[in-house]
Copies of this chain bind each other. A is one copy, B any other.
Amino acid sequence: MTDIGEIVRDIAEEMASRTDRGRVADYIAPLAEVDPMRFGLAVIEADGTCHLAGDAEAPFSIQSVSKVFALTLALGKVGDALWHRVGREPSGSAFNSIVQLETESGIPRNPFINAGAIVVSDIVLAGHQPREAVGEILRFARALAGEDAIFVDERVARAEQETGFRNAALANYMRAFGNLKHPVEQTLGVYFHQCAIAMSCRQLALAGRYLMLGGRNPGTGRSVVSAARARRINALMMTCGHYDGSGEFAYRVGLSGKSGVGGGILAVAPGRASIAVWSPGLNERGNSQIGTLALERLVQRTGWSVFEPNP
């Protein structure tokens, strides 16, 4: 029988020795300062068994991984009406591209590129104060993980805000098309804080369990979303979760996944495992280089790719 714990340890060992670790994001100081040698891996199986390796308990900036939780929350608020304002197709361009918005009337291609996630923030905001909306997303992440020690890194949020001109451009652009309902500063306030949530691999894998379990949070026994919605979020993570590297991730790893520029990836093997990996160096598409490799290894040894005839 496959010993997942051993596989996890083997992978952590191999990854520790890799020298091709990509480039740490350097557009804000709090990210640029992170040691490229950090590596964490957490695998939580369907029965709750948890395997940790490396820096799996160290909090890091989850950045765009938060888009999965924000989308889930927003769908809970407005249901499929969300899809009038955001598409469901891969973008074929960079995470922060504005070109597509011009040719497609301010409707972002999917909720996992920046423009789409900003619309999702706008939906979560829903007439509240930004502070409340951020609080709601944070509470949601805590409830999913079943842990309270999840926080917003204010230093990261502030830095994002100070340098987030491209995101401000995206937001203003969509506002011009009527696809933001709140003042740009408020919506971006929510967005930047949501991206600044810090979690450990263990917490992230815990929070992702509902996606492997048909929408059910095993911590509470309650449904976070319906099985159909969980399936659809997984589908979006597969086709759009890694920006313009989504095809490559599906090709190499074969799991639904969402990456963040902090070097984290949340991956889902439905019915098998919720997985979080972290290594801050990024490849040229902006996805964790060592993190992707670790997931590739994991899938090779477990056979968890959704594209395999699982036994």
Interface residues, chain A, CB within 8 Å of chain B?
46, 87-93, 97-103, 109-110, 165-166, 168-173, 175-176, 184, 212-214, 227, 230-232, 234-236, 238-240, 244-248, 250-251, 254, 256, 270-272, 305-311
Given A214-B309, A307-B234; A97-B102 close (CB under 8 Å): yes
Q: How many copies does the complex hold?
A: 4
Complex-state Cα separation, A184 to B309, whole angstroms: 39
Specify which of A170, A239, A309 lies most central, judged by the most chain B CB atoms within 10 Å of its CB.
A309
**What are 17 sample pairs from A and B whose C-beta atoms fall under 8 A apart?**
A89-B92, A89-B248, A90-B247, A98-B98, A98-B99, A98-B101, A98-B169, A99-B102, A166-B172, A168-B168, A212-B309, A230-B307, A235-B250, A235-B251, A240-B247, A271-B310, A306-B306
- Knowing that A88-B248, A231-B305, A310-B310 touch, tell me 12 more A-B residue pairs with CB under 8 angstroms: A92-B92, A92-B100, A92-B109, A99-B102, A168-B172, A227-B308, A234-B307, A238-B238, A256-B307, A270-B306, A270-B310, A271-B311
Contact between A235 and B254, CB atoms less than 8 A apart? yes
Q: Which residues of B contact A310 (CB under 8 A)?
A: 270-271, 310
Complex-state Cα separation, A256 to B270, whole angstroms: 16
Complex-state Cα separation, A82 to B93, whole angstroms: 22
